[in-house]
Chains A and B, each alone.
Chain A
Amino acid sequence: MKPLLLGIDALSYTSFMKCNPRFLLALFSSTFRGVVLNKKPQHPASSWMSVLEMQEVKGDSFFKDVETPTLIKETKAVAINIPITNPTYGEVSFEYNDSVSPQEEISKVAETILEELESRPVIASITVLDRMLHKSKENKCELYKQVDDVIRKIVNKADDFILFSPYGEPTSDRPDEHEDYGVYLSTVPRPNEHDTVKLHEIGVLFRRLVGQ
């Protein structure tokens, strides 16, 4: 199996106690972990582009007509549902709003990741938490359960992975306002033990993982 870079936009440690996502908590206890730091404004597109370009990228809207990002070129990875454009970029592409059901996105993304992972590195995103929690947090723990279940399915098949969120949960209905702290769980340790993980470092770590 090839390495996997999986982003779960808006996944937050602050909901781990409340929602008790069993598999994520098991990963938390058994893998390398860290905190992703990304201060406001945190738009999905600029946050993801910082990972894919391995340097800080600013912006407050989705990109139009993007060239193949550096990390994808250099690792020859397949991109799946990456929210740098709207609709999302890659093999699977959905509108970045609440029109797509959680189940529809989760099952299509998981299916494609599992198909592709056998032959090439995968860079994928599951956007459901970010898309839905900007509107309402009523079903948060139900969404966490669905995300937790699919992560179990995917990560159990991957030998090497970086699972991260580029920022925490939405703090308002604006697309660029989230908690500053995201999740980092991986088979590779964070760059500095006593420091947060920066977005561009995630791209560098994945490139190194593919090069091994």
Chain B
Amino acid sequence: MSSDYDAELEKLLNKKLKQIINESKRMQEKHEEKELVAHLTSETFDDFIRSHKIAVVDFWAEWCAPCIILAPIIEELARDYPQVGFGKLNSDENPDIASRYGVMSLPTVIFFKDGEPVDEVLGAVPREELEVRLKQLIE
């Protein structure tokens, strides 16, 4: 019986297809994770805080260990409060913005309403401490 069907080839193609789907899923997840907390710069900062009724910006630096501790808390909040704009700004790379808001220690989280700073929290604090301030602003 003649047939074009090749079981081995089909197995290989299926394997390749699965690999492509998994890779694409992974890229999508990474992309979504990146977008959850916007990486701000001096160029994008002003537009960001003006374009969100409420925005929360995490001022951080790579060498700052408490900043790394705090990062997943900010990501969690960003996931749970999609109506709020969450961003992070590297203070070393954007010192003009950090000095505009008097950021002297890291991490500093500043809460903005209608583009104006209304509250801030210093240090790596538990989620609850940030959330209670966020809820006050939303209500």
Contact = CB atoms under 8 A, between A and B. Distances in A.
A14 B72 contact: yes
A147 B65 CA distance: 19
B15 to A, nearest CB: 16
A187 interface: no
B65 A18 contact: no
Interface string B112-139: 0000000000001011000000000000
A172 B69 contact: no
B13 interface: no
Given A17-B124, A17-B126, A172-B26, A35 B65 contact: yes
B63 interface: yes
Given A14-B71, A195-B63, 9 more contacts: A12-B68, A15-B72, A17-B124, A17-B127, A18-B72, A35-B65, A181-B62, A181-B68, A194-B61
A15 B75 CA distance: 13
Contacts of B68: 12-14, 35, 181
Interface in A163-212: 172, 181, 183-184, 190, 192-196
Contact of B62 (A12, A14, A196): A196
Interface residues of A, number: 22
Judged by DSSP, the binding face of A is mixed
A28 B73 contact: no
18 contacts: A12-B68, A13-B65, A14-B68, A14-B72, A16-B69, A17-B69, A17-B70, A17-B124, A17-B127, A33-B65, A34-B65, A35-B63, A181-B62, A181-B68, A184-B65, A193-B63, A194-B92, A196-B63
A54 interface: no
Most chain B CB within 10 A, of A13, A18, A195, is at: A13
Across chains A and B, which 6 residue pairs bring their CB atoms closest together, nearest first? A13-B68, A13-B69, A196-B63, A14-B72, A33-B65, A16-B69
A13 B73 CA distance: 12
Contacts of A196: 62-63
Interface in A7-26: 12-18
Contacts of A181: 62, 68
A35 B124 contact: no
B63 A34 contact: yes
Interface residues of B, number: 16
B64 interface: yes
A62 B68 CA distance: 29
Nearest to B127: A17
B54 to A, nearest CB: 23
A17 B73 contact: yes
Contacts of B69: 13-14, 16-17
Nearest to B124: A17
B51 to A, nearest CB: 28
A37 interface: yes
Contacts of B61: 194
Contacts of A184: 65
